[in-house]
A and B are shown apart, each in its own frame.
Chain A
Amino acid sequence: MATYLPKTGVISWLTTVDHKRIGILYAASAFFFLAFGGIEALLMRTQLLLPNMTFLSAEVYNGLVTMHGTTMIFLFLMPLIAAFFNFLIPLMIGAADVAYPRMNALSFWVFLFGGLLLNYSFIAGQVPQVGWFAYANLTSKVFTPDHSVDFWILGIQVVGLASLISSINFFVTIVNMRCKGMSLLKMPIFIWASLVTQILLFLSLPVITVALIMIATDRTFGTGFFDPGVGGSVVMWQHLFWIFGHPEVYILILPAMGMVSEIIPVFSRKPLFGYPVMVYSVSAIGFLGFAVWAHHMFTTGLGAWATAFFSFATMLIAVPTGVKIFNWIGTMWGGQIRFTTANLFAISFVCMFTIGGLSGIMHASPPIDYHQHDTYFVVAHFHYVLYGGAVMGIFGGVYYWFPKFFGRMLSECLGKWQFWLYMIGFNMTFFPMHFLGLQGMPRRNFTYAPDQGWELWNVVSSLGAYITAMGGLVFLVNVIYAFWKGKRAPADPWDGRTLEWSLTSPPPEYNFAVAPEVSQVDDWWYKKYKPVSSSGSGQLEKVEDPPYQPDVEDPSSIHLPNQSFWPIVLAMGITVIASAFFFPVSGLYVAGTGILITLIASYGWSYETP
């Protein structure tokens, strides 16, 4: 039906099934939500600037803690990673699109509506105040009688559904849609990281789905899964949450590791050191990621055996992680390193992530963890991993692939300003938190007394947050400038190694005019560089005319999946069903309407020609 839909304008974006456009939509939404999460962080740091501040009330502060964590993880990092998955996976494996283009659009719209549903809590004036982990029994009707927790449960449930759909889509895409010759061990390392991430997603999300349903029935129907009064258990929630929550941490870090593993070889002009070992390390981290969840719960008193097991398994993760760090260093060793903004971010990932990893091993030891639990030391640790690690690595990816996304170069000068503001601001904010934590400053408290000796480091920390915010503004300026006056990007500005650089920037809607064929890892590089002599000296020379993808004379001759309205309609149906929980009287009617929309959209979807 949809062949007549326009190719430009708002309608074309609402109905698009092109993985590149969906990737751009994901990225735009992620940065939109970053503004929320960032402002929440700045407000909290302002409240903590000095002891006994009254800038925020305790209730508002609790809401900000919850929404900052939830937003940054579910509405900023995950969709930004999804943006890269969308844009890069088909290009890197030489495919025309993902396996299910309409499902891809569906997962974006479901994510966006879920994120808006979650943030609607601000407009409704009922902001969740339970932390991003929503520990029982804070979430019970007794402690949260208003709808704030319902916003959280349903928002996460809907956003989780989006991730589940996209994880199945990307998994099938990677395994099934690789171009000719790309066997598993010839895939780019970013694709390997993505593959393992999808497995973690579709195996861990169902657990949180069930857990969220359990809180919902506890609150709505009065079951007592997390109510000790009738035999339920609050620790059970912690188990269910962290069985999801710990793989989730690797879901955030593995793609960043994959990006860094693509960037560092390009800017060192060397192949990735130990590619197969990197693949095994990624897989090992993914596997062990399911066996360490209870290290978040040592202080609940798990018993000696469980504590010993989870402590050991956690320390074991340091092995593949350490291997990766040495491989990145090995890649840079002896290379011709170019310190572009992308590479600076990638190298800072390696350094900052190492610091976060080291404090992680400290937590793995239960006696030390007992001391550090719920202090700022933990806050320092996971910000070093997720911010100094994941965010810095992904910004490297942003600077590296922005030309491919939009056909414009970001300014290197502004980029370096952003990098140094981030680097200095980040370390000023979070390194002192190690000291504060060891001095006993508890997390999540909205203020502190002046006689604790915590003033100095809190001031430093807050000033660091403001410096980081300036870095964020520089990035915004950089992006606007790039669209306005930025240099046009050539097809292969960095002398890249993977297939996406054989395409024009930005790539045409149909991706590859000629089906690519690869014979080794970094195949594109070896199509550009040939051995000087056949004597095997290993010296390479750039060929005169690298085989860039040709243009197609008549693009309309290539059949592409049709645009469709049904994904956005179906996403609306799902969101309406979820929001039925907010209508105590007419809830059933709202749910019925949602189910009706969902059914109509499903049938419309099934019977249209894709």
Chain B
Amino acid sequence: MTALAHSTQTGIDNRKFGMWVLIASECFLFGTLITNFLIHKASILPGTPGGQQVFDIEITTWSTFDLLMSSVAMVLALDACRRRDLFQFRLWTAVVVLGGLVFLGFQYYEFSHFLHNDFGFTTSLFASSFYLLTGCHGLHVLVGTLWLGTIFVTSLVRGDRWFNADVVETAGLYWHFVDVVWIVIFTVVYLYIYL
């Protein structure tokens, strides 16, 4: 290719820049879902449980802590990748993936607990909006876990030959964004009802 293909006008790698644009788009996706939840947060049919009856704030706090710590591990993984420290890179990437899996485990437990307490997808609009929002977020965590898991496996297979810091940073941007969204969800969905 001619020389123009490899340097960019802004100096930012195309993939990283594309991720920032995707994040802008995702803000509107989650913005719509969160607004929908806020509109319906009081739409609880008589005789069906509301947030205060089913939420277990302690468990959700732990899963929030887990997700935030995985973001710290993400930062360390990227730093190790830049330093070309294979052991630390693998270690911290594995921690991120583990953090994602633990979060998904918490969510699975939480959802099945709710279902046992007659709090299903169609119980009330409050419940529907709750599941739509947290489910969509969970799907994002799943995609991120798969992505970072793939990076981990690639590192195992290719070893020293693979330190693509731009790819790791792009995945990291996504992962941090998914965390930030969770902080908003945790505040708006879980903490808000205790105010």
Contacts and interface: CB of A to CB of B under 8 A. Distances in A.
B132 A217 contact: yes
Interface stretch (A225-233, A428-436, A489-497): A225-233
A172 B14 contact: yes
Contact of A176 (B2, B12, B40, B129): B12
A206 B18 contact: no
A202 B25 contact: yes
Contacts of A560: 1
Given A203-B25, A231-B40, A100 B18 contact: yes
A95 B32 CA distance: 36
Given A94-B4, A231-B40, A231-B45, A168 B122 contact: no
Contacts of A441: none
A604 interface: no
A603 B128 contact: no
A99 interface: yes
Contact of B9 (A96, A168, A177, A207): A177
Nearest to A606: B150
Interface residues of B, number: 34
B125 A224 contact: yes
B8 A168 contact: no
B22 interface: yes
B33 interface: yes
Interface in A57-108: 94-97, 99-100
Contacts of B10: 175-176
B39 interface: yes
A206 B2 contact: no
A179 interface: yes
B98 to A, nearest CB: 21
Nearest to A559: B1
Contacts of B2: 96, 510, 512-515, 558
Interface string B144-159: 0000001000000000
Interface of B: 1-5, 8-10, 12, 14, 17-18, 21-22, 24-26, 28-29, 32-33, 36, 39-40, 43, 45, 121-122, 124-125, 128-129, 132, 150
Closest 9 CB pairs of A and B: A206-B29, A223-B128, A176-B8, A202-B25, A231-B43, A206-B28, A210-B32, A515-B4, A99-B14
Given A203-B25, A225-B125, A230-B125, 18 more contacts: A96-B2, A99-B14, A99-B17, A168-B22, A176-B9, A176-B10, A177-B14, A180-B4, A202-B21, A203-B24, A205-B25, A206-B28, A207-B28, A210-B132, A225-B129, A230-B45, A231-B43, A231-B124
20 contacts: A96-B1, A99-B18, A100-B18, A172-B14, A172-B17, A176-B14, A177-B4, A178-B9, A202-B22, A203-B28, A206-B25, A206-B28, A206-B29, A207-B29, A217-B128, A223-B125, A224-B125, A230-B43, A515-B3, A606-B150
